[in-house]
Structure formats: structure tokens, C-alpha cells
Amino acid sequence: MPRSPTDATRFTATGPYASSPPFSNPRNLPLSTFDTTPPPNETPQQKLARLRAAHQRQINGPPTLLTLGRTWADRLHRFTALSLITITLISGAVATAGITDMVLHNRRRKGEWLAQKQAETAAATAEAKRALAAGERLTEEQMLLVNQDRAAREARERKEREPGWGGRVWGWITGGLEQEEKQGGKLRGGLPEGEIVEGVKTEMGKTEEAVVVNTVRKGGPLDQEAEKAVEGLADRGRGLVSWLTRR
């Protein structure tokens, strides 16, 4: 029974190419009988792996030189990258350890050198003091050591006599009262006889010490310049707070 045009399919190929065989592509060929024939006692997992491998071979085809080259190039690139990262980490660790050891060794040697120099200076200062006490003639280096030791001792005593922060603030607040107390003490009259005698002895002792110091100071120009430098550093160490309290 003939069909009407409404029942027939539309867009159906009717040309010569519709009946010609398709283009033969090796990748589109069906699987060989060896790949499709299952072995005896094959499990579902083995069958799935076999079919996947056959399908992969059908898509990719046999391995070529380009495929092998890409595979080995990828492996070589991965090996090179991991090697560079490992070498960088090892180099950083070695450099850090070397720098740390060098800094610690430098500090240790510096401490040993300073301790040795301090011991030598202390021994030379003690020898100079012994020669001064024995009345021997001192060299310029010995006089310089004696003056430096005396200046350091005076600086320590001056620092101990200076009040702390609380004392400075309290002295700045009550500075006027202390001045009035000093003036009132002067108006009360003279000192007892015993205190006058002690004061005279103290002044005599200071005069003798000044004479000894002046004798020691009579050295060369190197000794005098060093003494001036030490005194300048001692005066400079008082700082801004001492200047404010004096103001």
C-alpha cells in the first residue's frame, strides 16, 4: 500500500552517496576477534578492564614516536623540577646553618678578645698603681691608665650619687624648699668646734689628693688629651634629664 507524502520521512538521503560504503578509517574499524573474544572464566572486572583497554587502543592507535617522546619529556620535566626544588631546599638549609655558625663563632671570638684585652688592661693598671705607690717614675702609658681608672671611678661614684627618676622628680618639685632650708641653716650660726676640725682635715685630705693627681697629670700631651676625652664622656653621660633638672 503506497504511503502518502505526509507519512513519509523527511530529509532522507536518496542520492548515490547514501548507498555507497563509508570511508574506511583504521580507528573506526571494529575490534578484532582477539579483543572481543572473552577468555574462559573471566570476571566482570577483568571484562571491563579488557574492553576499556581495547577501546583505548582503538582511539589512540598504536604508540608512535611522538607519543613516546611526549611521555619521556614529561617524565624528564618532572624529574628536573623536583631535583631543582630539592637542591634549592638543601642549599638554603646549608647556607642558613653556615651563616648561623659564622655569626656565633664571631661573637664568641669577640667576647674572648674583649675579655683578654680587659685582663691585660687591668694588669697594666695594677702595675701602674703599684709603681705610683712605690714612687717610681711612670711612663706616659702608665699615667694614661691611672687617669682613665680614676676617671672611671669618679664617674661611677657620680652616677651612684645621682638620684633616680623618682628622686629627680621629687627634687624638681621640692627644689625651692631645699634652697630655703639651706639658707635657714646658714642663718642658724656657726658649726661646733669638732665639726670644724673634721672639715679642716677633710679639706687637707682633698688638697693632698689634688696634689697627687696634679703630679700624675703632669705627663705628655697624649695623657692630657686622653684625660680631657674621658672627662668629656663622663659629662656627656648625664643626658637630657640631668639638663632638665638643672634647669
Range of the structural domain that residue 148 is part of = 138-165+223-236
Q: How buried is 124 (Cβ within 10 angstroms: 0-12 exposed, 13-18 middle, 19+ buried)?
A: middle
Contact at 8 Å (CB) between 216 and 132? Answer: yes
Same domain, 160 and 116: no
- The stretch 170-176 carries a mean pLDDT of 68
Q: Is residue 142 part of a domain?
A: yes
Its pTM stands at 0.37
Q: Categorize the per-residue pLDDT at 188 as very low, low, confident or very high, splitting at 50, 70 and 90.
A: very low
The pLDDT tens digits of the residues spanning 29-68 come to 554 444 567 788 889 899 999 898 888 877 766 667 777 8
User: What is the structure's pLDDT at 140?
Assistant: 87
Domain count, the chain: 3
- CA 76-80-84 angle, 5° bins: 175
Element housing 101 (H / E): helix 65-133
Q: How confident is the model at residue 211 (pLDDT cuts 50, 70, 90)?
A: very low
The last residue of a domain, from among 95, 123, 151: 123
Residues 79, 158, single domain; the answer is no
